[in-house]
Amino acid sequence: MDPNKKTLIVFSGDLDKALAAFIIANGAAAMGNEVTMFFTFWGLNIIRKPEKVKAKHSLLQAAFGRMMPRGADRLGLSKMNFAGLGPVMMKKVMKASNISTLEELIATAKEQGITMIACTTSMEVLGLSKEELLDGVEYAGVATYFDYADDANVNLLI
Amino acid sequence: MDPNKKTLIVFSGDLDKALAAFIIANGAAAMGNEVTMFFTFWGLNIIRKPEKVKAKHSLLQAAFGRMMPRGADRLGLSKMNFAGLGPVMMKKVMKASNISTLEELIATAKEQGITMIACTTSMEVLGLSKEELLDGVEYAGVATYFDYADDANVNLLI
Amino acid sequence: MDPNKKTLIVFSGDLDKALAAFIIANGAAAMGNEVTMFFTFWGLNIIRKPEKVKAKHSLLQAAFGRMMPRGADRLGLSKMNFAGLGPVMMKKVMKASNISTLEELIATAKEQGITMIACTTSMEVLGLSKEELLDGVEYAGVATYFDYADDANVNLLI
């Protein structure tokens, strides 16, 4: 076990939880930690490419894919979403307070060398393919998660 | 502290989070870990018997009990539930991809010897009695949770 | 790493999750642990003063502030909220079962010396100022969280 390693499972695809996840991850990395983030279920939407990507899916998988948000700029809030008005308000407040946007936080995470892993089982459940996710993302399952978590001293799930 | 022990608090009773919980727990067990799952609040609905069980409850407790889903096959999604259509869709996609159902994952957890503990305080709050929960479940409170968590190297809450 | 230290990030502001957080934290403290709770995002509403407090906010921040619940007695449920009827029902069931209210659990946490820290970044995002939060709360960011978490053997996020 290494006191300078941290993992974070990102299950949620809500803007507020995604912000918290990246603020925690970037904070840990800035303090000299090796950080690994595992994106699973709705959390995969955070690392989805914003543009439409052609991918082979069954009809049902394609339906899920169409209904889920494409990327960090399209996420809703877990509370007070108000059909999309909540995120707009929150982004304005954040901008006025000079707090980084989620896209900027993701870019910082990459710059700091944070490992981002997409859960392949969830990708099948939600019908998401590799071409639809951000470049630089790695792909693995639960066994890989525990390889990292067993080595880390703080493991969180959001 | 034992690097081969893991605990998981399952607070949520959503199908998607329940699937993630059991995929994580079964993965850890398959890698040789002793895994303990603590079901609390809505998470208790995951290990509820599907059939109606007569139990002594106050009127208010009975009201909660009637409104909550009975067991793994009746859970909703935390996102895109669409009045029950979302779970139906997700189950179809999972079947087509040969991914185990939640019931199968629970059976595997039992076969792998995962300890499942129902939180007795939450059972009172939600008006659930032992007869209503799956056979083989153990019963305990927060002190027992920390007995396990203090011994484990990865502790998550979902 | 100290086996008698625990941390808990409280992201959620739902009554049910707040109850679980304080039951877990108080349980750990009763067993002799040093417990630190970090309130972030909606979790800040749990430690909000119930009375209206005048504070300098931008118009948008003030709008968020008005829409969010003021304190432990005004929180909703994450499930079965039914426009506020769910929490009323849950509180009645809890009273009948002699389970402490959230306000009582918070008082117990203070008596047991649990450290409560409000996340200053989230306070800016949601437009909450120090005068609006309970007395005795401390203020810090993610670096302080990891100072505590690195030292603890159980770290959870709810």
Mean of the pLDDT values across residues B60-72? 88
- Closest by Cβ to C24, choosing from B58, B60, B142: B142
| Residue labelled with tokens 């009127």 | B59
Q: Is the pLDDT of residue B2 over 90?
A: yes
pLDDT in tens, C86-128: 999 899 989 988 999 999 999 999 999 999 999 999 999 898 9
Rounded CA-CA distance C29/C7 in Å is 11
pLDDT at residue B58, as a whole number: 85
Question: Which residues, including other chains, have CB under 8 Å from residue A40's CB and lie 6 or more apart?
Answer: A9, A10, A11, A119, A121, A122, B20
Q: In terms of DSSP H, where are the helices of chain A?
A: 15-30, 59-67, 85-96, 102-111, 120-126, 142-149
Task: Give the mean pLDDT of chain B.
Answer: 94
pLDDT at residue B80, as a whole number: 87
Confidence (pTM) = 0.96
pLDDT at residue B63, as a whole number: 83
- Closest by Cβ to A27, choosing from C13, C42, C146: C146
Split into its structural domains, chain B has a count of 1
Tokens matching residue B57: 């409850």
pLDDT at residue B54, as a whole number: 84
Chain C residues in contact with A24 by the CB 8 A cut-off are: 9, 142, 145
Structural domain range at position B14: 2-157
pLDDT at residue B59, as a whole number: 84
Which pairs count as long-range contacts for A121-125, CB under 8 Å and 24+ apart, including other chains?
A121/A40, A121/B23, A121/B99, A122/A39, A122/A40, A122/A41, A122/A44, A122/B20, A123/A44, A124/B93, A124/B94, A124/B97, A124/B99, A125/A41, A125/B19, A125/B90, A125/B93, A125/B94, A125/B97, A125/B99
The percentage of residues in chain B with a pLDDT greater than 70, rounded to a whole number, is 100
Reported confidence tier of residue B74, pLDDT bands at 50, 70, 90 = very high
SS3 of residue C138 by DSSP: strand
C-alpha neighbours within 13 Å on the C-beta side of residue A152: 26
Mean of the pLDDT values across residues C62-73? 89
What ipTM was reported for this prediction? 0.95
The answer for B 66-105 residues in CB contact with A (under 8 A) is 78-80, 89-90, 92-94, 96-97, 99
Contact B29, B87 (CB under 8 A): no
Sign of CA dihedral B37, B43, B44, B50: negative
Contact C14, C99 (CB under 8 A): no
- Closest by Cβ to A20, choosing from C41, C67, C124: C41
Among B12-16, C60-64, C87-91, C138-142, the minimum mean pLDDT is found in: C60-64
> How far is CA A110 from its chain centroid?
12
One digit per residue, the tens of pLDDT, for chain A of length 158 reads 999 999 999 999 999 999 999 999 999 999 999 999 999 999 999 999 999 888 888 888 888 888 899 999 999 999 888 888 899 989 998 998 899 999 999 999 999 999 999 999 999 989 899 999 999 999 999 999 999 999 999 999 99
- Give the closest residue to A155 by CA, choosing from B10, B7, B148, B38: B7
Domain CATH code at residue C58: 3.40.1260.10
pLDDT at residue B65, as a whole number: 84
Chain B residues in contact with C154 by the CB 8 A cut-off are: 146, 149-150, 155
pLDDT in tens, C19-28: 999 999 999 9
Rounded CA-CA distance C44/A33 in Å is 27
pLDDT at residue B55, as a whole number: 84
End-to-end CA distance of chain A: 22
More confident residue, C43 or A89: C43
Question: Which residues, including other chains, have CB under 8 Å from residue C56's CB and lie 6 or more apart?
Answer: C129
Rounded CA-CA distance C79/B75 in Å is 12
C-alpha neighbours within 13 Å on the C-beta side of residue B18: 30
Cβ of B28 and A142 within 8 Å?
yes
More confident residue, C8 or C97: C8
Interface test with C, best of A2, A14, A23 (most C CBs within 10 A): A23
pLDDT in tens, B75-99: 999 988 888 889 998 999 899 889 9
Chain A residues in contact with B16 by the CB 8 A cut-off are: 41-42
Rounded CA-CA distance C114/C100 in Å is 17
pLDDT in tens, B118-157: 999 999 989 899 999 999 999 999 999 999 999 999 999 9
Contact B114, B26 (CB under 8 A): yes
pLDDT at residue A27, as a whole number: 98
Contact C111, C26 (CB under 8 A): no
pLDDT at residue B16, as a whole number: 96
Rounded CA-CA distance B40/A35 in Å is 29
